[in-house]
Amino acid sequence: MGAGRPPRQAGAPVNPPVVLSSTFRADGPLSYSREGNPTWAAFEEVVGLLEGGRALAFASGMAAIAAVVETLPAGAAVVAPADAYSGTRRLLADLASRGRLRLHLVDVTEVKLVAEAADGAALVWLESPTNPLMRVPDLAATCQAAHERGALVAVDNTFATPLLQKPLDLGADVSVHSATKLLAGHSEVLMGVTVCRQEDLLDRLRTRRSLHGAVPGPMEAFMALQGLRTLALRMERAQSSAGELARRLESHPVVSEVLYPGLAGHPDHDLCRRQMSGFGTMVSFVVAGGAVAADAVCGAVQVCTPATSLGGVETLIERRGRWEGEEHLPPGLLRLSVGIEHVEDLWDDLARALEAAHRPG
Ligand SMILES: *Cc1c(COP(=O)(O)O)cnc(C)c1O
């Protein structure tokens, strides 16, 4: 398939050129690179096909999220997950504190609560699975309930990727990604993307992008597109390792809880089986001994890298509770972003680090 590639002509390059030009000769289809750039367009073509809509590339996931929120009128009510990604919560709280919008944080796994809160709201923001508690809202039921009350629905699909979950097919108006994570996949670029089907919403988002100027560089778009080419392979490997590590962690004596929707005991396991075509590459788990023990695990790993972020080819581990605004999390909660290393190397590393963290003295 030739998505995001130059025309299939003899002698044509296989990859799209990186168009490093801020402006374009007058009277053509392109004018100025804040409005559009051919390298973004190649990336957008591929993401749009994967999600089943029209994609717009942004400078970061937060830029994409902010663009969606900024399409709302002043004073609009927004319903969002109480356990949404911390950046999303901080953005919404900041806007609410300045009177730009009204914010209702709810447990989005309870459709009834979202429906109640959606009365009179302009937007329901969802995340599936949530970062880092790995809860999965019922997207189809929630979209229907929100639409009946006249609210738009946006879904942060970063953890699932379009390969595992298609929010637009389930009724969402816009799907949003931090392309920094799994889509680009190599911990090298910051980028975001929105995908929607409705022409008027697409226009409003494009206007936000042009006016706010949160546009990606052509080089970033090229690198993210290169990453997308291997998304399916990376997902397959990382997801299979994530499932294996989750099962082994579950029976580890110093791990008190494993949050992974692929485990039969996960509260959203059955829903996840219906809604997603896989359980993803992210595993959160709680270490007995709280923050001290969890920090010790991060200090002891040698194959995994202690760092924030996720979705790269290298496994990252992080104690989320170390961040401001994440005090609601269990202090010993570690979030593991599983990469594509050999699963036995990862397990040896984790098992050794867990043991080192609990060795007396
Ligand atoms: C990282 C992340 C974001 C923010 O994306 P940036 O590219 O860092 O701006 C948004 N949502 C989720 C779920 C994330 O993990």
Task: State yes or no: pLDDT of 337 exceeds 80.
Answer: yes
In ligand 1, the atom with minimum distance to the C-alpha of 180 is 7
- Same domain for 224 and 238, yes or no, is no
Has residue 17 been placed in a domain?
Answer: no
Task: State yes or no: pLDDT of 81 exceeds 80.
Answer: yes
Residues 14-69 have pLDDT tens digits of 999 999 999 999 999 999 999 999 999 999 999 999 999 999 999 999 999 999 99
Mean pLDDT of 264-289: 98
Q: Given 207, 228, 249, which residue is the final one in a domain?
A: 228
Model confidence at 324, pLDDT cuts 50, 70, 90, reads confident
- Same domain for 243 and 316, yes or no, is yes
In ligand 1, the atom with minimum distance to the C-alpha of 190 is 7
- Same domain for 85 and 97, yes or no, is yes
- Same domain for 177 and 197, yes or no, is yes
In this predicted structure, what is the pLDDT of residue 23?
A: 98
Has residue 214 been placed in a domain?
Answer: yes
Has residue 14 been placed in a domain?
Answer: no
Average confidence score pLDDT of the chain: 97
Q: Is 161 in the pocket of ligand 1 (CB under 6 A)?
A: no
The proportion of the chain whose per-residue pLDDT surpasses 70, expressed as a percent, equals 99
Q: Is 85 in the pocket of ligand 1 (CB under 6 A)?
A: yes
- Same domain for 221 and 258, yes or no, is no
Instruction: Indicate the number of domains in the chain.
Output: 2
Has residue 27 been placed in a domain?
Answer: no
Q: Is 178 in the pocket of ligand 1 (CB under 6 A)?
A: yes
Has residue 136 been placed in a domain?
Answer: yes
In this predicted structure, what is the pLDDT of residue 186?
A: 98
**Domain extent for 71:** 38-228
Q: Is 42 in the pocket of ligand 1 (CB under 6 A)?
A: no
Task: State yes or no: pLDDT of 1 exceeds 60.
Answer: no
- Same domain for 216 and 277, yes or no, is no
What is the reported pTM?
0.97
**CATH number of the domain where residue 350 is located:** 3.90.1150.10
Q: Atom 7 in ligand 1: which residue has the minimum CA distance?
A: 61
Has residue 326 been placed in a domain?
Answer: yes
Residues 136-159 have pLDDT tens digits of 999 999 999 999 999 999 999 999
Give yes or no: 90 in active site.
Answer: no
Q: Is 60 in the pocket of ligand 1 (CB under 6 A)?
A: yes
CA of 92 to the centre of ligand 1 (A): 14
- Same domain for 109 and 159, yes or no, is yes
Q: Given 228, 256, 275, which residue is the final one in a domain?
A: 228
Q: Name the catalytic one among 54, 89, 138, 156.
A: 156
Triad 70, 144, 108: Cα angle to 5°: 70
- Same domain for 290 and 192, yes or no, is no
Model confidence at 125, pLDDT cuts 50, 70, 90, reads very high
Has residue 183 been placed in a domain?
Answer: yes
Task: State yes or no: pLDDT of 360 exceeds 80.
Answer: no
Mean pLDDT of 286-296: 96
- Same domain for 155 and 194, yes or no, is yes
**CATH number of the domain where residue 192 is located:** 3.40.640.10
Has residue 6 been placed in a domain?
Answer: no
- Same domain for 186 and 77, yes or no, is yes
- Same domain for 197 and 80, yes or no, is yes
- Same domain for 221 and 263, yes or no, is no
Model confidence at 359, pLDDT cuts 50, 70, 90, reads confident
Q: Given 194, 209, 228, which residue is the final one in a domain?
A: 228
Q: Name the catalytic one among 54, 83, 85, 234.
A: 85
In this predicted structure, what is the pLDDT of residue 361?
A: 53
In ligand 1, the atom with minimum distance to the C-alpha of 131 is 13
Residues 180-212 have pLDDT tens digits of 999 999 999 999 999 999 999 999 999 999 999
